[in-house]
Amino acid sequence: MVDLYIKNGKSVTGEPLEVAIEEGKITAVGERLAVEAKEIIDLEHKSFITAGWIDDHVHCYEKMNLYYDYPDEIGVPKGVTTVIDAGTTGAENIADFYQIAKNTKTNVYALVNISKWGIVEQDELADLKKIKEELIHQVLKKYPDFIVGIKARMSKTVVGENDIVPLELAKKIQAKNEHLPLMVHIGSAPPNLKDTLNLMEQGDVLTHCYNGKENGILDEEKNIKDVVWDAYRRGVLFDIGHGTDSFNFEVAEIAKKAGLVCETISTDIYHRNRETGPVYDLATTMEKMLVIGYSLQEIIPMVTSHPAKAFHLKGKGHLAVGMDGDVTIFNLENKEKLVTDSNGFTRTATECIKPIYAIVGGKKYRAGGEQDGSLRKV
């Protein structure tokens, strides 16, 4: 007898789909299963079943002052089973974040900021003395199942007068630590996007890829820059990282039309852009991708298998026997909804993604509410 049986669901391509979970692992996947279960979720052929959604760029270390949130506000209540905190903490305070993250319903991983205290100030990389290579090496060794990469924010307000130097140091740290994943934030120059991209290699993650800034991926004629195509073709991974100031509809539409397709969809969410927008949650960001022309079949891998692969999350990202029992169940509703990008431009979505359940290690949480009274309502 399995612990949980999800029956009468459907895949994103519309085929019948059912899933069984026992002891936190997926034990069966198919169009029709013959299993006995302690608990059954009957979706009555109305809802989609996918691997648990992964938001690979969030800020959820609650003790920070600038960018912070709570994993169980942006995770399971929003249909998200796994979040990756993108460099909120550095080597000096990531241990405390780890202790908090161990007790959350949502799976939490972290990228360690190359600045030792993380984003305690907007310009955390303006002082190169804060980049302590040995400290980073120590925490990577101490928390190998929690820290899944490193983060460098490469924009003028962050690096001060240091231009491209912090990224050069980040690449040095990466090379000495088994070439672990590196996420690079882009924004206003300096450093120039060309200099940033020229340092990035296959598998490195460029976040805020569709921002509307002058130092973004488009030239003055609104064509994709040659240096961007060069990076894309050699395997640099492009991540949305929506955020308060880093997603522009027109840029995303031009990129989609040209064939520059992002690898992962993420929110860059923290409490302010969750509470008052324009981000709100991962589902809303996914709806915006529907608006600019991506299909649901294209979008789901961008929040499941693609981030799992990019950040080496074993057991995540796929509905398959032996994988972790992380599942998202959602409906696709045909109704209009006004959605807004980071620059205040709007589009009208005609399909809305409504998460119903987030299942983490076989434990069921109803999206938007509580599970057995243990989740506070949002």
Query: Are the CB atoms for 347 and 291 separated by under 8 Å?
Result: yes
Average pLDDT over residues 55-59: 98
Average pLDDT over residues 121-127: 95
Question: Residue 46 and residue 211: Cα distance in Å, rounded?
Answer: 36
Res 368: pLDDT: 75
Question: Residue 201: is its pLDDT beyond 70?
Answer: yes
Average pLDDT over residues 226-232: 98
Question: Residue 136: is its pLDDT beyond 90?
Answer: yes
Mean pLDDT of the chain, nearest integer: 96
Q: Which CATH superfamily is domain 53-310 in?
A: Metal-dependent hydrolases (3.20.20.140)
The tokens for 254 are: 């031009």
Question: Residue 212 and residue 259: Cα distance in Å, rounded?
Answer: 18
Res 179: pLDDT: 87
In this predicted model, what pLDDT tens digit does every residue of 92-104 receive, in sequence order?
Answer: 999 999 999 999 9
Confidence band for 376, pLDDT divided at 50, 70 and 90:
very low
**Neighbour tally for 42: CB within 10 Å:** 12
Question: Residue 369: is its pLDDT beyond 90?
Answer: no
Res 94: pLDDT: 98
Res 221: pLDDT: 97
Res 374: pLDDT: 32
Average pLDDT over residues 64-74: 96
Across 132-141, 142-151, 320-329, 367-376, least confident range: 367-376
In this predicted model, what pLDDT tens digit does every residue of 246-277 receive, in sequence order?
Answer: 999 999 999 999 999 999 999 999 999 999 99
What amino acid is encoded at 12 in this protein? V
Confidence band for 33, pLDDT divided at 50, 70 and 90:
very high
Average pLDDT over residues 180-199: 97
Average pLDDT over residues 93-119: 98
Domain boundaries, the chain: 53-310
Confidence band for 375, pLDDT divided at 50, 70 and 90:
very low
In this predicted model, what pLDDT tens digit does every residue of 308-351 receive, in sequence order?
Answer: 999 999 999 999 999 999 999 999 999 999 999 999 999 999 99
Res 305: pLDDT: 98
